[in-house]
Amino acid sequence: MIPARFSVRPIRALAACATALLATASVAGVGTADAQSSAPPEVPPPTADPFYTYDGPLDRHAPGAVLGTRTMPYGFHQLATPITSTQVLYRTTDQFDRPTTTVATILRPLVPGPPKILSYHMAYDALGSECDPSYTLTGNGAYSQAGTFEQGVITGYLASGFTVVVPDYEGPDLEWTIGRQSAYAALDGVRAAESVLELPASTPVGLAGYSGGSVPTQWGAEVAPTYAPELNVVGAAAGGLPVNLAHNLPYVSGSTSWAGVIPALIVSYERTYDLDTGAFLSEHGRQIVDTVSSQCINAFASRYPGLTDGEMVRAPYTSLLDVPSVVESINDNIMGTAGTPRVPMLLAAGDVDGTGDSVMVTADVEGLAHEYCERGVAVTYARYARMSHSEAFLPFQAQTAQFFTDRFAGAAPTSNCAVVGPGNDLAPTPVP
């Protein structure tokens, strides 16, 4: 269901711009020929960096208020660049409407032009602070092929005249896949960036993210009309979305490449919802949860091939979906339940096996698109046939680039709602 006007030209342009940037870095004396000069400066991880801590009262600050700024390097893994970023510590809101803080990285455009902002949400899917974009975008942290690809996309947008804002949307406690909280962090990151750069609220803004990055993107579009109505959001592009984790869980249970997300999700939900995991985890499950509790997704996703969610729990439970507190938490994060977007949406997913892309359920994404269409949202739904989660990343980025070319040019919204099927029922799972 890729629209006929879909083109790969924009993503090729972005990739070419990213390559040109690296060449510029080399000319500037920070190329790979000189190992000492090419290495990015070492910075401490967020847990050891006082910049991430704010000790003052937060109630007196509005969401998006700037609490601190600093200039930091912008580097690829083990490669410095001549570019610098501005990091901003700002006030935001957690899942339960309490004030909290997080950090965003602000990258200024490499070419002059009218101001336009892209809030780009990296799929860092993290349980440890060394995975935070504000840390990895300095060139530090563990290597991630997916992160490097995303940085290439980010750099391409910079070379296309965008200001790119990259929030640590999981917050200081690394709470992965938590919907409203991730959205608030993204929208407040835009507010903070506009304050730092002295840009008006009328500045056009796009929201973009794939996989874990689809969470702040999709939820951000839903809550923006009520949480940040002053922002001029012009469109949102989300790919590979975890629409309803009650459907993802049985899909990845026992899988070869993605079973490791099961214990990682338990860690995140334990942090967010204060789950009493001692009441339902098996001894084996607890050991795995403890192991992954500070890791990045590249360390845990495929580390436990064949692991089932039934192995994670003890009697009388046979599945995590038998546990009332787990089901209640999952139901609190079903996409489409926080509001209705007022901007055009691009929603996309791969379909490698007739069910999903190996981790995301394709009919769930179609069901969300259908629900939005029923509410009058201009939705473009794309299904990438015979493509896995990782394979669908590139066509999604290409379609996103074209989508934002149209949105920022003020083109009339388009949709393919007429051919979007009903997809899956996204109703909450009955609580056991």
Tens-place pLDDT, residues 92-151: 999 999 999 999 999 999 998 999 999 999 999 999 999 999 999 999 987 788 888 999
pLDDT at res. 29 = 32
pLDDT at res. 24 = 37
List Cβ neighbours of 423 (8 Å cut-off, separation of 6 or more): 363, 364, 365, 366, 367, 368, 369, 370
pLDDT in tens, 250-306: 999 999 999 999 999 999 999 999 999 999 999 999 999 999 999 999 999 999 999
Q: Are 368 and 400 in contact (CB under 8 A)?
A: no
pLDDT in tens, 185-235: 999 999 999 999 999 999 999 999 999 999 999 999 999 999 999 999 999
Is 0.85 surpassed by the pTM of this model? yes
Q: How many CA atoms lie within 13 A of 120 on its CB side?
A: 29
* Pair of tokens at residue 107: 């990258």
For the stretch 36-50, what's the b/e string if a residue is b when 16 or more beta carbons lie within 10 angstroms of its beta carbon? eebbbeebeebeeee
In the three-class reduction of DSSP (H, G, I as helix; E, B as strand; rest coil), residue 68 is classed as strand
pLDDT at 36 over 50: no
As a whole number of angstroms, the distance between CA 84 and CA 69 comes to: 13
pLDDT at res. 142 = 76
Q: Which CATH class is domain 9-243+341-419?
A: alpha beta
pLDDT at res. 39 = 76
First to last CA, the chain: 37
Q: What DSSP string runs through 222-287?
A: HHHHHH-TTSEEEEEEEES----HHHHHHHHTT-SSSTTHHHHHHHHHHHHH---GGGTB-HHHHH
pLDDT at res. 257 = 95
Q: What DSSP string runs through 154-211?
A: HHHHHHTT-EEEEE-TTTTTT-TT-HHHHHHHHHHHHHHHHHHHT--TTSEEEEEEEG
Confidence of residue 12 (pLDDT cuts 50, 70, 90): very low
pLDDT in tens, 141-189: 877 888 889 999 999 999 999 999 999 999 999 999 999 999 999 999 9
pLDDT at res. 79 = 81
The residues spanned by each domain of the chain are: 9-243+341-419, 250-331
pLDDT in tens, 318-351: 999 999 999 999 999 999 999 999 999 999 999 9
pLDDT in tens, 386-415: 999 999 999 999 999 999 999 999 999 999
Antiparallel, parallel or unpaired: β 99-107 and 117-121: unpaired
Does 77 or 87 have the greater pLDDT score? 87
pLDDT at res. 17 = 44
As a whole number of angstroms, the distance between CA 244 and CA 335 comes to: 7
In the three-class reduction of DSSP (H, G, I as helix; E, B as strand; rest coil), residue 417 is classed as helix
Q: Which of 113, 61, 111, 119 is nearest to 90 (CA)?
A: 61
pLDDT at res. 38 = 74
pLDDT at 37 over 50: no
pLDDT at res. 1 = 39
pLDDT at res. 40 = 79
Confidence of residue 81 (pLDDT cuts 50, 70, 90): confident
pLDDT at res. 16 = 44
89, containing H or E segment:
strand 84-93
Task: Please give the angle made by the CA atoms of 165, 170 and 174, to the nearest 5 degrees.
Answer: 140
Q: Are 380 and 4 in contact (CB under 8 A)?
A: no
Least confident of 20-24, 43-47, 110-114, 149-153: 20-24
List Cβ neighbours of 99 (8 Å cut-off, separation of 6 or more): 58, 59, 61, 63, 91, 92, 93
pLDDT in tens, 363-391: 999 999 999 999 999 999 999 999 999 99
